[in-house]
Amino acid sequence: MTCRDAIAVLADYLAQDLDPETVAALERHLADCGPCTTYLATYTKTRAIGAEAQRVEMPDEMKARLRRFLLDRLERS
Amino acid sequence: MSSDDHLLLASAAAGDAGALEALMSRHSARVYRLAYGISRNTADAEEIVQDVFLQMVLKGGSFEGRAALGTWLYRVTTNTALNKRRGKRHQMETSLDDVLPTFTADGHREGDRAYLVADWSATPDRELLSGESRRILEEAIDRLPDHYRAVLVLKDVEELSNEEVAEAVGDSVAAVKTRLHRARMAVREHVTRRLGVRA
């Protein structure tokens, strides 16, 4: 397995969506390849912090405006 | 759709404020996260949420019972947000090809070795999610094309299955998997270029 092959399957590897032979080949490659080991570590961290950064909450005043907007539209319809 | 959602929708459509409140309480957080995640703009996200909830309430009792309301909301929110963004492409949007890994003819990574092994992954999340690091991360997400951000939010934030994401964005599972991987790689690259060497 080359670096190109390894990086191509990282998402499936993290999702545990690879067949056992590919997992074994990938892990053999990672054991010998510093750049790909680093790539996997930073890719995994990117997934975690990217998700956390996007867990935004709807502001309370926006919820209040949404409620008023919908009630107003329902009354008019 | 659960019978509970169905009853609430019918009641809300008939003007029941309590039913509307219950539907908002149950679903507004995810609709907002997705709307903001795609639009990356608070005012646009608010308009998208209003539009989606209005569509939901006006549909009311005529809602087809087989689909889960949550799934319908993800699909309609995605479409509404992408339509709203059409023609408003961000000036900073990066060509993904510029931030994806490159390889030599024999399949090895290309680039300076110090950069290839620059590992910022041990940096604590709280540090990466504050200050300059947070700004860099947000910039990386901003630079993704809208339909890549849609997949990223649906998969990594909402934690839908690939099939559910495919249904929400109206694309194949294979396309969703490719887009998700490319989006994560692009964000990783952007962050690494700015943080990697000093981490």
The answer to whether B89 touches B41, Cβ cutoff 8 Å, is no
The answer to whether A6 touches A26, Cβ cutoff 8 Å, is yes
Tokens found for residue B10: 């019918």
The span from the CA of B156 to the CA of B140, in Å, is 15
In chain B, where the domains are located: 3-85, 96-196
The answer to whether B149 touches B183, Cβ cutoff 8 Å, is yes
Q: What is the helix (H) or strand (E) element at residue B13, kind and residue range?
A: helix B3-13
The pLDDT value recorded for residue B62 is: 66
pTM: 0.91
What does the pLDDT profile of chain B (199 residues) look like in tens digits?
565 888 888 888 888 889 989 999 999 999 999 999 999 999 999 999 999 999 988 877 666 665 678 888 999 999 999 998 886 665 455 578 888 888 999 999 988 888 888 999 999 999 999 999 999 999 999 999 999 999 999 999 999 999 999 999 999 999 999 999 999 999 999 999 988 765 5
Q: What is the ipTM of this complex?
A: 0.93
Interface of B with A in 20-39 (CB under 8 A): 20-21, 24, 28-29, 32-33, 36-37
CATH architecture under which domain B3-85 falls: Orthogonal Bundle (1.10)
- Closest Cβ opposite residue A38 in set B58, B117, B123: B117
- Are B3-85 and B96-196 in the same CATH fold? no
Find, in chain A, the residue whose alpha carbon is nearest to that of B128.
Answer: A49
The DSSP output letter for B194 is I
User: Which of A66, A71, A72, A75 should we substitute to test contact with B (largest number of B Cβ atoms within 10 Å)?
Assistant: A66
Q: What is the CATH number of domain B96-196?
A: 1.10.10.10
Give helix B3-13 / helix B42-59 axis angle, nearest 10°: 90
